[in-house]
Amino acid sequence: MATNKWSIIFLIAIVAALATSVSAKVFIVGDHKGWTLNFDYQAWANGKKFVVGDKLVFQYAAGKHNVFRVNGTVFQQCMIPPAIEALTSGYDVITLATPGRKWYICGVGKHCELGGMKLFINVLPQSMPPVPSVSPPPSGKVFVVGDDKGWTLNFDYQAWATGKEFVVGDRLAFRYPMGKHNVFGVNGTSFQQCTIPSSNEARTSGYDVITLATPGRKWYICGVGKHCEMGMKLFINVVPQSAYAYPPPPYHRTRKLAPPKF
């Protein structure tokens, strides 16, 4: 049962991871201005995160501009490559297929040199979001039974337990002067009737730490004299470890591809 739950949670985490890795963003270069003269494309690119798989869309009046993919040198010097290498549709979609620096210019007239029609971006590799850990935290809570009173006579352990949540992996610490008390883990019947088990089952160290290893009801009594009848008995319910909160998957924007505007 528990195993099943963890498998489902793990599956959900995997699906979420895959879903985020395939949802690529689409960037309309220059946003609603498109690919045009006198626009600061470096300012536009600033602060944007381009990741492998994302797309750039160069949107412009066909014939008025074009798009060349160039290297850094050509970009610097605004050298126009052979016209055959140009993208000219007016709605040129470029998938950012590899990480690294990418340069784009307009090869019409002096648009690159004088019109500022040049764009430089850095494309980051895809990073898988970290798969959330599904293993329980290594250390649970430690409850000192009776808090600063410890394990003693004339203390209401049911009142002490009320409102506390005991989870598998948590620990109970029974603290008492050694020899004065002891601790037995018993069943419900022995708890009710204060039946003292054989003394070799007793914990007697004066600081007995019990790890709550399984969910369900647990009963503890003191087996010294009539201490159990006098109230040295503790009943708790241990709940299974529940799903831990996951960070939400990274948020990915997906812009709708708008039809070219002229």
Number of residues in contact with ligand NAG under rule CB under 6 A? 8
Nearer to ligand NAG, 165 or 229 (CB): 229
Instruction: Find the binding residues for ligand NAG in span 196-235 (CB under 6 A).
Output: 197
Residue 189 binding ligand NAG, by CB under 6 A: yes
H or E segment and range at residue 12: helix 2-22
Instruction: Find the binding residues for ligand NAG in span 53-72 (CB under 6 A).
Output: 71
Beta-sheet strands, E only, within 149-221: 166-167, 171-175, 184-186, 207-211, 216-221
Nearest approach in angstroms of CB 141 to ligand NAG is 28
Nearest approach in angstroms of CB 71 to ligand NAG is 4
Angstrom distance (rounded) from CA 233 to CA 238:
16
* Pair 4, 232: CB distance under 8 Å: no
Angstrom distance (rounded) from CA 116 to CA 44:
12
Nearest approach in angstroms of CB 189 to ligand NAG is 4
Nearest approach in angstroms of CB 167 to ligand NAG is 24
How far, rounded to the nearest angstrom, does the alpha carbon of residue 38 sit from its chain's CA centroid?
Answer: 42
Nearer to ligand NAG, 187 or 237 (CB): 187
Instruction: Find the binding residues for ligand NAG in span 114-133 (CB under 6 A).
Output: none
Query: Who's near 136: CB < 8 A, 6+ residues apart?
Result: 168, 169, 241, 244
Residue 74 binding ligand NAG, by CB under 6 A: yes
Angstrom distance (rounded) from CA 226 to CA 154:
12
Query: Who's near 45: CB < 8 A, 6+ residues apart?
Result: 119, 120, 121
Instruction: Find the binding residues for ligand NAG in span 78-117 (CB under 6 A).
Output: 81
* Pair 46, 247: CB distance under 8 Å: no
- Strands of the sheet with 142-144, listed across from one edge: 142-144, 171-175, 207-211
* Pair 35, 29: CB distance under 8 Å: yes
Angstrom distance (rounded) from CA 11 to CA 13:
5
Residue 144 binding ligand NAG, by CB under 6 A: no
Name which position in 190, 221, 234, 236 contacts ligand NAG (CB under 6 A): 190
Residue 7 binding ligand NAG, by CB under 6 A: no
- Which structure tokens are listed for 21? 């890795």
Nearest approach in angstroms of CB 161 to ligand NAG is 21
Residue 187 binding ligand NAG, by CB under 6 A: yes
Nearest approach in angstroms of CB 242 to ligand NAG is 28
Nearest approach in angstroms of CB 217 to ligand NAG is 12
Name which position in 3, 4, 73, 139 contacts ligand NAG (CB under 6 A): 73
List of residues contacting ligand NAG (CB under 6 A): 71, 73-74, 81, 187, 189-190, 197
